[in-house]
Amino acid sequence: MSIILSTLNARYTHASLGLRYLLANMGELQGETEIMEFVIGGKTTEFAERLLARKPKIIGFGVYIWNVEETARLVALLKRVAPEVKIILGGPEVSYESAEQAIVKEADFVITGWGEITLPDLCRQIINGPQPLMKIHAGVQAKLADLALPYQLYTDEDIKNRTLYVEASRGCPFKCEFCLSALDKTAWPFELTRFLDEMETLYQRGARLFKFVDRTFNLNINTSLQIMQFFLDKIAAYPDDPVFAHFEVVPDHLPEALREGIMKFPAGALQFEIGIQSFNPEVQTLVSRKQNNDKAADNIRWLVDHTQAHLHVDLIAGLPGETVESFGAGFDALYALRPHEIQFGILKRLRGTPIIRHTDEFAMMYDPFPPYTILANRDIDFTTMQRLVRFARYWDLVANSGRFANTLPVLLGSSPFTQFMAFADWLYANTDATHRIALDRLAKLVCMWLQGQGMPLEEAQALLESDYAGKQPKVNDEKKSAALQRQAVRLAA
């Protein structure tokens, strides 16, 4: 093969939609182009050996925040053992602030932004001449109608074993400064009939898990309804052959027509990722995020009460102007809405995002290495920020895992953020670890914490045993039930 398109995915189950878009649009070069995907954490020398075994003239790498350090090592190695192979970089991590990056200095060429038109043009120049003079090439934004869609390039193995990423639109009309989508001018939709035909083909080939990467799935309600109807038709026709769809939705935009459609989905078929990020209006204004908090809360509450959709709701700690107290108030408000998961994220300074304009005023200090996580700011010092980082990790282990469904409300009481922060501090002090805590050990630690807060050992064990058994605590034992209720109040105090 003359050309290899490659990237290092975060997990094997992730299949790169970007590489498949590039391959689909290589034109006459498609026949001499192939995809080779790897997973971060492997040996750089093995990656290089496998790539060079194909004797390529060009290798293109998709570079992202999660793989840039390992990809930089791989590129450096390749340029030493096979300097004749031309290395082209693309992807969000090298599309901004490019000149200062070590990986860019090692590579031959960089494409910033969209690559479907610019990559094949650059490859033609490298292969046929005249040789390109510039190192950095601004990607030409294609009209979506002119792009070849990539979905036929998902293999049967991909369909069987991996998450299939799909997109009905690109871009975002909102300007949230912590997100690269803030640089988009608007959202551009793909032609819907053409897109749904591709989804039908994937379905007929056996695809049952579809993850939409659209930033604003519910922006155009007519389009949203037609896409949802596609899945509802499959569910109705084949009720014993479940299908699953994941969408990212705008939290404060849920009109009646969309509600009616969502209510038709059975359990296990629909997941919404909802970005609240902050409930603090002053912080929202600072980062140019437009959000009606009352409507957003009402919509989440309605989804919990009236649908079987699984709700994954995001908050970000470390935004400029957000104190621990205001973040905690927002966390408690969100927890009270009862979403299935709260994704507690820590702010990252993605290259190119407008959040950088707040650096001086709010003393924003970021890790200089990927993923560029906030270390401290004017309102949250380094030590406190690290406590929040541990809170996020432990929250995933205890709350988002679903393994402590009965214990969690008792552990949190009426002050979820404050109570869990205290638990997280205690857990770290007693383990010195945030990873690789086995479930049995974690359950014992939770039991110890409950005892330390005054719960009798027998009651704590019964509560945890109900989680292991996957059932609610026995309510026919009135004495124990009343004791658990009293304990929740006592812990909150």
Q: Which backbone phi and psi does 254 adopt, to 5 degrees? A: -140, 70
Q: What is the mean pLDDT of residues 250-276?
A: 95
pLDDT tens per residue across span 341-394: 999 999 999 999 999 999 999 999 999 999 999 999 999 999 999 999 999 999
Q: Cα–Cα distances in Å, from 194 out to 20, 144, 191, 200?
A: 17, 11, 6, 10
* CA–CA distance, 2 with 34 (Å, rounded to integer): 9
Q: What is the mean pLDDT of residues 264-282?
A: 96
Q: Cα–Cα distances in Å, from 200 out to 195, 205, 272?
A: 9, 9, 22
pLDDT tens per residue across span 308-349: 999 999 999 999 999 999 999 999 999 999 999 999 999 999
Element (DSSP H or E) covering residue 257: helix 256-262
Judged against a pLDDT cut of 50, whether residue 489 lies above it is answered with no
- Residue closest to 174 by CA, chosen among 301, 90, 284: 284
Q: What is the mean pLDDT of residues 223-236?
A: 97
The two three-digit tokens of residue 472, written as one number: 């609610």
Q: Cα–Cα distances in Å, from 135 out to 26, 108, 138, 414?
A: 20, 6, 10, 58
Judged against a pLDDT cut of 70, whether residue 265 lies above it is answered with yes
Judged against a pLDDT cut of 70, whether residue 481 lies above it is answered with no
DSSP of 151-204, one letter per residue? Answer: GGGS-HHHHHHSBEEE-SEEE-S---TTSGGGG-SSEEEPPHHHHHHHHHHHHH
Neighbours of 320 (CB within 10 A): 23
C-alpha torsion sign, points 389, 390, 394, 399:
negative
DSSP of 465-478, one letter per residue? Answer: HHHHTTSPPPSS-H
Peptide bond into 132 cis (omega under 30): no
Domains of the chain and CATH, by start: 3-144 (3.40.50.280), 163-380 (3.80.30.20), 387-493 (no CATH)
The DSSP call for residue 398 is I
Element (DSSP H or E) covering residue 210: strand 209-212
Return the percentage of the chain with pLDDT > 90, whole number: 90
**Region of residue 178 (left: phi > 0; alpha: psi -120 to 50; beta: else):** alpha
Average pLDDT, the chain: 93
Give residue 219's pLDDT.
85
- Residue closest to 430 by CA, chosen among 412, 408, 414, 448: 448
Judged against a pLDDT cut of 50, whether residue 260 lies above it is answered with yes
pLDDT tens per residue across span 158-212: 999 999 999 999 999 889 999 998 888 888 999 999 999 999 999 999 999 999 9
